Structure 1
């Protein structure tokens, strides 16, 4: 497995923790992400489902890096997540800077890494077919 695949597996596993918090430990989700806001159980479960979808994308993409549509969807999930968290911090003021820094590190690193690898996996697949 390529290094990017291992990274996506790590990020997916970390996202699983957020899924758990969204469904079963709202206090930890509130403290770890939306620390400047109150959350209801419905908000937590909605966040959990959204995060479960992005976690699934990470795992699927990790094993299928040469699948361009899946790669694109996974890449965009990081862009959307980063956009969401930036708006929560700058516009809605529901996050502390420490929480934004943590999620921005994982989303930003993933975005940059995936951008730098954008065409290389497709190129490797073509070379393997020859």
Structure 2
């Protein structure tokens, strides 16, 4: 398995912790992720399902790095997560700079590494 695959396995495994928090320890999810906002049990479960989906993408992609479509979807999951937490910090004020920094490290590293690995690019020029 390539190093990127091991990285995705690590990130997926760390995401499992958030899944657990979302389903079974919403207070910790509140303290660790959305400390400046009310977090209900429904919100925790929604966060848990969303995170479980992104965890699954990490695992699938780790074992199928040559699958461009799967890499793109996994890449986009990191972009969406980063944008979500960036807006939660900058616009809504529901999370802290500490949490944003952690997300930025994992999402940013993954985004850059996946761009370098799979050659995902945005063509700004018309054909």
SS of match in other structure, 2:92: coil
SS of match in other structure, 1:110: helix
Which aligned runs of 4 or more in structure 1 are off by greater than 4 angstroms? none
After TM superposition, the structure 1 = structure 2 runs for residues 1-130 of structure 1, keeping only pairs within 5 Å, are: 1-119=1-119
After TM superposition, give the deviation of residue 113 of structure 1 in Å: 0.6
Task: For 1:77 and 1:43, locate their aligned partners in 2 and report how far apart those are by CA, in whole Å.
Answer: 19
Structure 2 gaps, min length 5? 120-127
How many residue pairs end up in the alignment?
120
After TM superposition, give the deviation of residue 10 of structure 1 in Å: 0.1
Task: For 1:40 and 1:9, locate their aligned partners in 2 and report how far apart those are by CA, in whole Å.
Answer: 29
Structure 1 gaps, min length 5? 120-130
After TM superposition, give the deviation of residue 103 of structure 1 in Å: 1.1
Task: For 1:45 and 1:104, locate their aligned partners in 2 and report how far apart those are by CA, in whole Å.
Answer: 23
Residue equivalent to 1:126: none
After TM superposition, give the deviation of residue 50 of structure 1 in Å: 0.3
SS of match in other structure, 1:39: coil
Task: For 2:116 and 2:30, locate their aligned partners in 1 and report how far apart those are by CA, in whole Å.
Answer: 33
Task: For 2:100 and 2:42, locate their aligned partners in 1 and report how far apart those are by CA, in whole Å.
Answer: 22
After TM superposition, give the deviation of residue 118 of structure 1 in Å: 1.6
SS of match in other structure, 1:91: helix
